[in-house]
Amino acid sequence: MDNYSIYDLTFEQLTAWVLEHGEKKFRAAQIWDWLYVKHASDFDEMTNLSGKSIRLLKEHFTIGTLKERIAQKAKDGTTKFLFQLTDGNLIETVLMPHEYGLSVCVTSQVGCNIGCSFCASGLLRKNRDLTSGEMVEQLVAIQKRLDREENGERVGHVVVMGIGEPFDNFDHVMDFLRIINDQKGLAIGARHITVSTSGIVPKIYQFADIDWQINLAISLHAPNNELRSRIMKINRAYPIEKLMEAVDYYLKKTNRRVTFEYIMLKGINDHKEEALQLAALLQNKRHLVFVNLIPYNPVEEHSDYQRSEEEAVAAFYGTLQKKGINAAVRKEFGTDIDAACGQLRSKQIKKAKVRRS
């Protein structure tokens, strides 16, 4: 067995594989349908395939390797999953019930090397990238769980905002997006998918050059280089001017709106001055951008950061509004379960270390 996951393949790759192995082209469509429409868990379920085809698939691929270790459901219906990968690594995925439907927040790497100073995921350096199949499986595993509950619910939105920096795992993330966007499969519409980046500038250009309608979110968090470099060291490599040039290129190329994420950190980036700077920074593209003000989820290890006071958030929002910048304060999900993304995983790893020592 080659031990590749069948979920790693885009439809084009599966078709090429099928042809290479002497099968008819329509086999690929049949297999795809079993994987992404019927949500099969085993090759043996694929009853319209010949025994020989099933054996061939089994020889080359695995199907479904994620193990659900924990599922925490919050009062608002948000469910946070801790999955174990075949090599024992742990990742998190979150299912969120929005008024417009179910959305899943997907992890793209085991840990993160970008090391933003406020983030739980960055505490543990990157162990490895996820394969495209491991990202696809996060969705498939959750969809299968929903199927079992039999209330006809379907995941319709995806955000790549879990652990990791998606643009540091660019090729796998792009394949993942192609797979979940495929109309004959999971069919998650491009406009319903958002990828969030800390601002890896060359990859923003590359992303803009792909001809699709997937949304881009930029984690800005500070409106000037001095402050941004202090809280996000990636800003030293890709300062705000370069980031904005890349955003301008993206806007021109795609005609899509860009979302800027801005975590509200008490006494750090939440003053009127920063609101005015942010408004000035975005003024020339204000019809094309949207600012998401994000309540900070406190992380034990980063005790120097606290969530901004409600009045500070309201005042910041008000300043942006007055300057004509579209903004919203992000709704929080699952506040009664482990809050920040990356926390459930880092807690489990800490527990395991305590058990071992």
Q: Which are the catalytic amino acids?
A: 92, 341
Please choose, out of 75-83, 114-122, 251-259, 270-278, the segment that lies near ligand SAH by the rule CB under 6 A: 114-122
Residue 115 binding partner per list ligand SAH, ligand SF4, none, with a CB distance cut-off of 5 to 8 Å that depends on partner kind: ligand SF4
Nearest approach in angstroms of CB 328 to ligand SAH is 14
> If you count them, how many residues does the chain have?
357
**Contact status: 103 vs ligand SF4 (CB under 6 A):** no
**Contact status: 199 vs ligand SF4 (CB under 6 A):** no
**Contact status: 10 vs ligand SAH (CB under 6 A):** no
**Contact status: 5 vs ligand SAH (CB under 6 A):** no
**Contact status: 108 vs ligand SF4 (CB under 6 A):** no
CA distance linking residue 329 with residue 263, whole number of Å: 10
- Crossing angle for the helix pair 170-181 and 132-149, nearest 10 degrees? 40
CA distance linking residue 265 with residue 272, whole number of Å: 13
**Contact status: 119 vs ligand SF4 (CB under 6 A):** yes
Specify the residue, 119 or 141, whose C-beta has the smaller distance to ligand SAH: 119
Nearest to 102 by CA among 217, 188, 205, 214: 188
**Contact status: 161 vs ligand SAH (CB under 6 A):** yes
- Can you tell me which of 17, 32, 34, 296 binds ligand SAH, judged by CB under 6 A? 296
Q: With CB under 6 A, what is the number of residues at the site for ligand SAH?
A: 17
Query: Do the Cβ atoms of 248 and 208 come closer than 8 Å?
Result: no
- Evaluated on CA atoms 132, 135, 139, 140, the torsion sign reads positive
- Can you tell me which of 281, 294, 325, 344 binds ligand SAH, judged by CB under 6 A? 294
Residue 263 binding partner per list ligand SF4, ligand SAH, none, with a CB distance cut-off of 5 to 8 Å that depends on partner kind: ligand SAH
Alpha carbon of 101 to those of 95, 181, 188, 306: distances in Å?
11, 17, 12, 31
Question: Amino acid letter at 303?
Answer: S
Nearest to 120 by CA among 270, 310, 338: 338
CA distance linking residue 11 with residue 36, whole number of Å: 11
Q: Name beta bridge partners: 278.
A: none
Write a three-state SS string for 229-277: HHHCCHHHHCCHHHHHHHHHHHHHHHCCCEEEEEEEECCCCCCHHHHHH
**Contact status: 200 vs ligand SF4 (CB under 6 A):** no
**Contact status: 107 vs ligand SAH (CB under 6 A):** no
CA distance linking residue 21 with residue 30, whole number of Å: 15
- Can you tell me which of 46, 114, 136, 214 binds ligand SF4, judged by CB under 6 A? 114
Please choose, out of 4-12, 37-45, 86-94, 118-126, the segment that lies near ligand SAH by the rule CB under 6 A: 118-126
Comparing every residue's Cβ against ligand SF4, the nearest one is 122
Nearest approach in angstroms of CB 125 to ligand SF4 is 10
- Can you tell me which of 116, 139, 214, 275 binds ligand SF4, judged by CB under 6 A? 116
Query: Do the Cβ atoms of 31 and 57 come closer than 8 Å?
Result: yes
**Contact status: 111 vs ligand SF4 (CB under 6 A):** no
Q: 155-174 mask for ligand SF4 (x: CB under 6 A)?
A: ---------xx---------
Nearest approach in angstroms of CB 211 to ligand SF4 is 26
Query: Do the Cβ atoms of 119 and 342 come closer than 8 Å?
Result: yes
Three-state DSSP at 214 gives coil
Enumerate binding residues for ligand SF4 (CB under 6 A).
Answer: 112, 114-116, 119, 121-122, 164-165, 198, 219
Contact residues: ligand SAH, CB under 6 A? 116, 118-120, 161, 165, 196-198, 219, 261, 263, 294, 296-297, 299, 340
